[in-house]
Structure formats: structure tokens, C-alpha cells
Amino acid sequence: MIDVHAHYVPPGLVERLQKEGSRYGVSVVETEPACHALHFASGLRLRPFFAKLIEEPATRVASMTAAGIDREILSTWTDMHAHGLDVAQGTAWHRLLNESLAELAQRHGPHFSLLASGYLPDAAQAARELEYAVTQLGAVGAVAATNVEGTNLGELPLDEYWAAAVELRVPVFLHPVQPNPTPRTRRFAMNQVVQYTVDTTLCVGSLIGAGVLDRFPGLELILSHGGGTVPYVIGRFDVMFQRSDRAAAGIAATSPPSAYLRRMYYDTILHDPRALRYLADRVGIERLVIGSDDSFPPADHDPLASLRAAGFSAEEMHRIGETNPRRLFRLP
């Protein structure tokens, strides 16, 4: 089975940053013994690394095997994308992230594949990095944070980046980013529960509304956390599409938002079998892929059990865990 939503930071990356982090505008701060956090020249301060995020590869493989997962499609922690860095540092930073994951994937063969990140404030540079990562590093797709310094992706001039993904025939995994909780989400775990899912919804709404999916009909998007709230509030999207002054609202989409639901893919991290079954009924089993969110507190530690709890048959589970991701990522 293939897990398309898993995060990892190669342990060697921290060691390298301790020696030459200034080149990338990054410093490693030991917040307590053997516990490190990244601080960026842009002013961004990240939470300390969770131990599982930087565990040894053999430990990760053992936990995957125990959960029935054969391969993880790895992406970096999107909070680390640090789009507030300047162009030179941001470009070098994402190259380092991609090469670090590629080295891991190459050393551990069939267990890991990588999704490449890029410096999205410069679409041309992000497109070049994606091409390099796919053609030279073996990346099977891209990962993009759902906002860049607070701006939705659909409101940014990213057409060159989307075009590169289509040309290279690789999907883009959209993952929320909110390294610093807003005042209203600081408590009660609402940053993870609410802010992250809303961030995905805002991103998707902006991509549909801005006409990105119309301009790039071949663009394949994967939505994390079951699509945020998108599949569940899609009726409200449609109503406002019909009733709004579209020109005044900046809506460039040519179809109601619900028409785009089956254009996208969705991971299975919902933690509720009824919600997962609704998602399958709404978008089709052919649009579901297994996700665990491995390394973080909201992770699904037994994604196959979640599929069984939702009533999927063995054949349907095989489609979700094998057929769909192999087709999407063009894996043998």
C-alpha cells in the first residue's frame, strides 16, 4: 500500500544546517537538549521538530511495515517552505530540501518517493526547480503550501508553475501552512483542527474562482486532510457562484465549483468513517488515495483500519491504496 501524505526531515539536514545554515538564511536553535527548531532570516520561527519527523530511516520503515504501508510519498513540512526568504536564499533552500529527500529516496529504494517543493514567490524559479527535481532527482510530484505569506495560491501569478506541472505530467499536493496560530486558534488544538482545514478550503476556492483549473485542464491536484472542508461546503460554493455578481467578485470559473470536485484527488485523513464514506460517494473511489500525515499529532496511525471502518471492500481498498496512487504518480 502507498501512503501519499507523509512528512519527513532527513536527520542529516539538521546537521548540515548547523554548519552552513547562514547560506540559506536558516539557523538551528536548540530549544532544549537534543531538541531543535529552525529560525529563518525572514523572522519566521518554527516549532521544535517532533522526534518522529527526524527519526532514523530504519525506524520509519519499521513503523510503515507495521501499518501495512510499503511506500511513503514524502514531502517536507510545509511550514519549512519559508517563502518570506529572499529569492536567492529561498531558491537555494528549496534545492537543499529536495536534494536531501532525493538522497534518502535513492538510498532506501522502494520505501520512499519524494514530492518536490519550490520557491513560489518566483513562479519561474519554482517551475525550474520542479523540472530539475523531476528530471534529475526522480521526484514523482510537487508539494505546494496552500498560501504564500498569507496570499491564496489562486491570487498569485503562478501560471508558469502550473504549466510546468502539466508539462512534466506530475500532480501537485496542496498542504496547508500555518506555522504561527492566529489569536483565535491558539488554544484547544484549533490550529490543527480548524485553521489547517480552512486554509486548504481557501486555497481550493481561490484556484477554482480564479479560473486556474479552467486554464490548466490537465492539472492534477491532491488535497490533504480529505479536502479540508471543500467537499462538505461545496453547496455553498455553488449557491454563491449562481447568485454572485461574478465580475465584481472576481470569479473567472466557467462552471459551478462542484463541477471541479472530481478533477481533484483527496487523501483519507478524516478520522471519521462516515465522513470518509461521504467523501467517496461525493467524488468517487477513483479519486481517493491513502494518507497518514505521518510524523504529526493528527496522524492516522492505522489508515488501513480507517478504510475498513468506512466499509470499503478489499478490492476498493486496493484501488485506494495501490491502483489510484500508481496511476496518479505514474509508478510502475
Give 174-223 pLDDT, tens digit per residue.
Answer: 999 976 788 999 999 999 999 999 999 999 999 999 999 999 999 999 99
Check the CA dihedral 253-259-264-267 and report its sign.
positive
What is the residue-wise DSSP string for 145-201? ESEETTEEGGGS--HHHHHHHHHHT--EEEE---SS--GGGSSTTHIIIIIHHHHHH
Global pTM reads 0.96
Copy the grid coordinates of residue 114: 519524494
CB 271 within 8 A of CB 300: yes
* Reported confidence tier of residue 256, pLDDT bands at 50, 70, 90: very high
* Residue 107 burial (10 A CB sphere; 0-12, 13-18, 19+): exposed
30-34, 163-167, 317-321: which range is least confident on average?
Answer: 30-34
Superfamily of domain 2-10+52-329 in the CATH hierarchy: Metal-dependent hydrolases (3.20.20.140)
Reduced to 3 states, what is the DSSP secondary structure of residue 52?
A: helix
pLDDT at 104: 94
pLDDT at 236: 98
CB 31 within 8 A of CB 38: no
Q: What percent of the chain has pLDDT over 90?
A: 90
Hunting for cell 519527523 — which residue is that?
53
- With a CB cutoff of 8 Å and minimum separation 6, the contacts of 318 are none
User: Computed over its alpha carbons, how large is the radius of gyration of the chain?
Assistant: 19
H or E segment and range at residue 304: helix 303-309
What angle, 0 to 180 degrees and rounded to 10, lies between the N-to-C axes of helices 230-243 and 196-209?
Answer: 40
H or E segment and range at residue 106: helix 87-107
pLDDT at 327: 98
Instruction: Tell me the domain boundaries of the chain.
Output: 2-10+52-329
C-alpha to C-alpha distance for 196 and 216, rounded to whole angstroms: 26
For the chain, what is the mean pLDDT?
95
